[in-house]
């Protein structure tokens, strides 16, 4: 499986996917504190008239914790969209373009090919939110003053990372099922936002992957029992989607023309 992993690493780096994801998450992680500390008071002072930005800052009473939670909200909204469209071709493009024909005939196994993708992009997807959240923590601490320790941040980032793994498995499954990258990205968004919306409406978030984001926003200093359910449910969904992906791959016809 070593060559499959090296191939995915090369793809992540040379296609610029890893850079896009790191840059996007870091951008929002660093932008949020500036927005809340500088831009928001300026906008409000302009609207209220006469009030200084320092005065507005005092009125809004923004803290580091509020800043981090604001950023975590962005991750669900914009971050999900960025991930869906950056990685929408992970399986769909390769299958549609017949890029798997030569590897399959050379004896490459579906399990290893999919496993390498999950591993490389999974590790990347766990690292990106953690690093971005640490950057947000550090920068917001400098602007608002440090309020909490680094451990809750690491836990929060890790939970976001696990949620992103769920997005990754959705992208791979939809990609294999419909073999078109952009629709696969859209369907992943529909799945992610649909689950989030419906679970919020029915108040069952802890039984869905969205529960991870709710738990992450709590920024708890240690693992709590309430975490176990969303982690277990998300892990089960990831396993189910991976099995579905592999099963579909085994039944696909390869090297067929688009019209067929």
Partner 1 sequence: MITVKGLQKKFKNFYALKNVDMHVKKGEIYGFIGPNGSGKTSTMNIFAGLSRPAQGECTVNGLDVTKLTHPGDLKIGYLPEDPKFYPWMTAHETLDYLSGGRNTGHTGEILRWTGLLDAQNRRVGGFSRGMKQRLGIGATLIRNPELLILDEPSSALDPEGRSEVLRLIKDLKGMGKTILFSTHILDDMERVCDTVGMIDAGQMMFEKPLRQLQKENTQPIFDIIPAHSVESNISNALERLTGVVSLTKSERSLTVKVADNTVSVSVMRFLTDHEIVIESFSLRKTRLEDLFLHGVNTK
Measured from the CB atom, the residue of 10 and 194 that comes closer to partner 1 is 10
* Minimum separation from the CB atom of position 231 to partner 1 (A): 34
Give CA–CA dist 29/23, Å, rounded.
10
* Minimum separation from the CB atom of position 113 to partner 1 (A): 11
Measured from the CB atom, the residue of 112 and 218 that comes closer to partner 1 is 112
Angle between helix 110-144 and 2-14 (nearest 10): 50
Measured from the CB atom, the residue of 2 and 49 that comes closer to partner 1 is 2
Give CA–CA dist 161/159, Å, rounded.
5
Measured from the CB atom, the residue of 201 and 256 that comes closer to partner 1 is 256
DSSP string of 144-186, one letter each residue:
H---S-HHHHHHHHHHHHHHHHHHHHHHHHHHHHH--HHHHHH
Degrees (nearest 5) of the Cα angle 79, 206, 141?
Answer: 50
Measured from the CB atom, the residue of 39 and 102 that comes closer to partner 1 is 102
Which residue has tokens 């971050």?
Answer: 79
- CA proximity to 82, closest of 40, 46, 29: 29
* Minimum separation from the CB atom of position 111 to partner 1 (A): 10
* Minimum separation from the CB atom of position 25 to partner 1 (A): 23
* Minimum separation from the CB atom of position 6 to partner 1 (A): 8
CA distances from 184 to 192, 211, 236 (A): 12, 23, 21
- CA proximity to 68, closest of 184, 150, 188: 150
Give CA–CA dist 24/34, Å, rounded.
16
Give CA–CA dist 73/189, Å, rounded.
16
Measured from the CB atom, the residue of 100 and 137 that comes closer to partner 1 is 100
Measured from the CB atom, the residue of 105 and 150 that comes closer to partner 1 is 105
- What backbone torsions phi and psi does residue 248 show, to the nearest 5 degrees? -65, -40
CA dihedral (25, 8, 176, 88) in degrees, to 10, reads 30
Binding site for partner 1 (CB under 8 A): 2-4, 6-7, 10-11, 14-15, 97-99, 101-110, 250, 253-257, 260
* Minimum separation from the CB atom of position 4 to partner 1 (A): 8
* Minimum separation from the CB atom of position 106 to partner 1 (A): 4
């Amino acid at each position: 499986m070593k060559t499959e992993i090296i191939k995915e690493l090369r793809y992540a780096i040379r296609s610029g996917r890893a850079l896009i994801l790191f840059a996007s998450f870091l951008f929002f992680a660093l932008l949020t504190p500036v927005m809340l500390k500088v831009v928001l008071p300026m906008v409000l002072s302009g609207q209220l008239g006469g009030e200084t930005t320092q005065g507005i800052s005092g009125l809004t009473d923004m803290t580091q914790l509020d800043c981090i939670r604001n950023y975590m909200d962005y991750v669900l909204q914009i971050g999900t969209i960025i991930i869906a469209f950056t990685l929408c071709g992970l399986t769909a493009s390769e299958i549609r373009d017949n890029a798997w024909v030569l590897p399959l005939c050379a004896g490459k196994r579906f399990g290893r090919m999919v496993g390498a993708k999950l591993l490389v992009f999974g590790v990347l997807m766990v690292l990106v939110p953690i690093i971005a959240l640490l950057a947000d923590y550090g920068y917001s601490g400098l602007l608002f003053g440090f309020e909490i320790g680094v451990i809750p941040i690491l836990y929060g980032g890790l939970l976001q990372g696990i949620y992103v793994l769920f997005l990754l498995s959705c992208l791979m499954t939809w990609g294999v099922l419909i073999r078109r990258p952009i629709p696969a990205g859209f369907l992943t968004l529909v799945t992610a936002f649909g689950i989030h919306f419906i679970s919020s409406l029915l108040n069952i978030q802890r039984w869905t992957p969205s529960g991870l984001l709710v738990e992450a926003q709590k920024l708890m200093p240690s693992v709590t029992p309430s975490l176990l359910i969303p982690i277990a449910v998300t892990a089960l969904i990831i396993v189910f989607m991976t099995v579905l992906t592999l099963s579909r791959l085994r039944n696909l016809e390869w090297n067929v023309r688009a019209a067929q």
